[in-house]
Each structure stands twice: as C-alpha cells, then as structure tokens.
Amino acid sequence: MVRKKGLVSILALTVALSTALAGCGGKSDSKADDKGAGTTAPASTTKSEKVEKKDLTFMFRGGTDEQKAYESVVKKFEDDHPGVKVKIIMTTADQYATKLKASITGKSVPDVFYYDPGDLRAYVNSGTLLDLTPYVEKNTNIDINNIWPYGVNFYRYDGNVVGKGNIYGLPKDVGPFAFGYNKTMFEKAGIPLPDKDKPYTWEEFIDVSKKLTKDTNGDGKLDQFATGLNVQWCLQSFVWSNGADWLDATNTKVTIDDPKFTEALQYFADMQNVYKITPTIAEAQTLDTYQRWMKGELAFFPVGPWDMSTYEKLPFDYDLMPFPAGSTGKSATWLGSLGIGASSKTKYPQEAAELVMYLTASKEGMKMLVDAHVQIPNLIDMAKEWAATPGKPENKQEFLDVVNDYGRAIPGTLTYNAEWYNLFFTDIQPVLDGKKTAADWAKDEQPKMQKLLDNALEQEKKSKK
C-alpha cells in the first residue's frame, strides 16, 4: 500500500516536471511537426489523391462483453473512415490508471483513451488533453444537446471550474448505480414486491430483510440473506439519503463527523453486526456476496448498467427499485462516468476527435453498444425509447431516474485528487467489524482526511501557476 502510494506520487511529480520543461521550450516534440499541417484546425485530406494511412491507438478497459462491444464499434469506425487504422490497447480495470499515468510520463500517450473525470483538471493543466470543442462544433452528425448534460459537464473545464468552458472529453457513458432485488425470492416468500416509486424507509428495509434471511433447507445454517453491500460503492446512498455528505458545500471541509453521517454509517455497519441480515464476515469469505447474489442467495444487490449482459443469465428474475431512504425520505445514489479523450500530441487530431465522437455521440456507435447490453444510451432520445422496450430489467426507467433525478458524483471526483476520500475506505474496517462506533471512529478520522484534502487544495493552486 505504502509502496504504491510512493510510486504514484513520484509519477505525478515527473509528469509535473516534464510538463514544465515542455512549456519553457515552447516547442512541441511531436513528430507531427515534421508535416506541418494537421496540428491546428481540423484539416481536410483532399490535397492528396492517395488515401493517407493514419494509425491511431485507443486504450481502454472493460469486462469481456464490453471489450467485444467496443472492438465491434471500432471495426465499424474503420470501415466508415478509409485509411484510418485503430490499434486497441486493452488493460484490466485494476491496471488501467497506472498504465495511463506511465504512458503520460513516458510521453507515449495513446491517441484516444479513457480517463477518470477526477483527473480532468490535472490533465488539462498539464496540456495532456486535446481540446475537442472545435471538432464537436463542426461535426453535424452529432448533437451535444442530446447527450446527458450531467455526463458532458464532467469534461468541460474553463481553467477554473469543472462543468463550464471547453470540452476535453466526452462521456463514454453515464453509470447510474441502481439497487436491484431478486423478484423470484420475493414471490416465493409471498412478500409484496418493492414499490418502484416509493423507497423503503430504513426500518421497512430491515423488516423485509429479516423475513428474507433464513435457513431454507433446515440444516440449522442460514443460506439465504437479505444483502451484503460493499462499503466503497454503497455507503454513499445511505449517507446522502440521510442528509449528510463527505464534504461541505465548498468542497473544502471533510464532514464525516456530522451526526447525520455517523448515523448512516452506523446503520450500514449494523446490518451485519446487529440486524444480522447479511452473511457474516467468515461466510462472506467462503463465498463473496456477488457470487451469492448470482446464485440467488441474496434478496438485494446493486446493479449497474454494465451488469445487464451478465445478469440476463441469472437463474432467477430480478428487477430495479429505489435505494432505501434515510431521514430525508428520498433515495440517493451515485452516478459515475468515464470519459474518452484524445491526446494533445496526436499526429491526427481530426481522426482522433472523430473516433471519440463515434464512440460516445454517434447514433451508429451508440446503438451497437446499447444492443450489447453493456450501458445505457448516452443519447437522451435513444434512452427514452430504450427504457420503454421490453427486456430485463423490466424497470429500466430506474436507471434513467438516477440520471435525471437522484444520482450524484462520487465525492472523491469533486476534488483535485481523491487521496483524502480513499483514506476513509482504507481505515473503515473497525467500524464494519463492530469494534468501534461510527461516531468515535469519525472523530479520529476527520482530521486525517482533512489534512489530505488540504494537500489536494494546495496542489491544485500550484498546478495553475
């Protein structure tokens, strides 16, 4: 853990240094300079009669179904753009960030690549990302107003505020993190199905959960549980719906010691330790909760759009519902996004921008991705049609409700870096194990997180100089 952190900061420092040097020289080291043309405005290729061969690299990550889907779209892009060849660089989700940072340090940035919206400011300030605005404005095949504004705003930056100004990427997708339930299990138990529009209160959720946690084969051991939620991806819902958050409104103060926050965290831990509606720690080690959900042993589990292709093959019927709501009475969850951007050093900015737009904003590309059941449509009109189409899950509208109504950004993406936020999850285990109360733990943890947040604020200031 320590080693890894050290490595990342060394890389970050190297990036900062090399950028500073490039800035002083005022001369790009890109080979594109040899040719002169093609580095500024979108250039036309009509000069030469022979089709110039243009090689692009595209680096991305994803599950098996997602890989296949993106490979097909890239193939279609090549068919539609004679002369352009796209070399795909695939990595696992775990290795992606490290590999991308290394390629930036080594000045071998792929022409087109995924990036986390949390890195937008650093990548723009260091001159890594191509400004896509002129290409988006010129392309009459795409309509930026037909893409979820929430998604697009993640990749706008005016040098000061994210969400405004020029476009440095387009959303690969927006990822509403919804809540799902095993419909077959409810029907077997004779329990009314969860309401699509009215979330359970926390009490109601525990009541139903207790009824669904049982020993079904009479061997004296529980084999069916209500749930088993990953703290890193599910706690947000409980905290937010209880009217609390990790940060204050200015994103400069860590607020995890707020009583509304610790109440939510305590409730989350109590699901295992007090209400006993989840597998025990030992049971979850034998078979993790994702596997148990897949086998039909859990009543509730989160569902992202990227799960749809896999969940089609589940041995039971599932559907979506609103997350249980705390004291605000309103559901909450996060809405993620991953961006696709282009390198400012690409030899072929026009083609690189075209590929970004093809993958994120074209009707042809989007249709193929949606048909592969790996994401919800980026295009608003297509999404409405999609939600009304029969197919699992039935209540697809819940995904769109998260996008339109109750989804929020992960707190770690709102700041210059996420180290303060990641520390929370590194240190949380004693609360989950019931060894410390949420309130006691938060009192000790807040100053540690605040120190890292202060560092991030300081780094942001420096990067702008």
Contacting residues toward Ca ion, per CB under 5 A: 215, 217, 219, 221, 223
DSSP structure class, residue 406: I
Residue 223 vs 270, nearer CB to Ca ion? 223
Neighbours of 427 (CB within 10 A): 14
Residue 223 vs 454, nearer CB to Ca ion? 223
Give the torsion through C-alpha atoms of 100, 104, 105, 107, to 10 deg: 130
Residue 40 vs 217, nearer CB to Ca ion? 217
Residue 34 vs 219, nearer CB to Ca ion? 219
142, 369 contact by CB (below 8 A): no
b/e map 225-238, b = 16+ CB within 10 Å: bbbbbebebbbbbb
Residue 217 vs 285, nearer CB to Ca ion? 217
Shortest Cβ 15–Ca ion spacing (Å) = 54
Rounded to the nearest 10 degrees, the angle between the axes of helix 349-360 and helix 64-80 is 130
Shortest Cβ 278–Ca ion spacing (Å) = 16
Shortest Cβ 432–Ca ion spacing (Å) = 25
Shortest Cβ 292–Ca ion spacing (Å) = 13
- Say whether 407 sits in a helix, a strand or coil: strand
Shortest Cβ 297–Ca ion spacing (Å) = 10
Residue 215 vs 371, nearer CB to Ca ion? 215
Tell me which residue has tokens 């009824």.
211
Shortest Cβ 300–Ca ion spacing (Å) = 19
Residue 36 vs 220, nearer CB to Ca ion? 220
Shortest Cβ 215–Ca ion spacing (Å) = 4
Neighbours of 285 (CB within 10 A): 9
Shortest Cβ 225–Ca ion spacing (Å) = 11
Tell me which residue has tokens 């609390």.
244
Q: Which residues pair with 90 in a beta bridge?
A: 60
Rounded CA separation 113/111 (Å): 7
Of residues 261, 199, 268, the one with CA closest to residue 232: 268
98-101-106 Cα angle (round to 5): 120
Tokens encoding 141: 């095949």
Residue 213 vs 237, nearer CB to Ca ion? 213
Which DSSP helix (H) or strand (E) runs through 185? helix 183-189
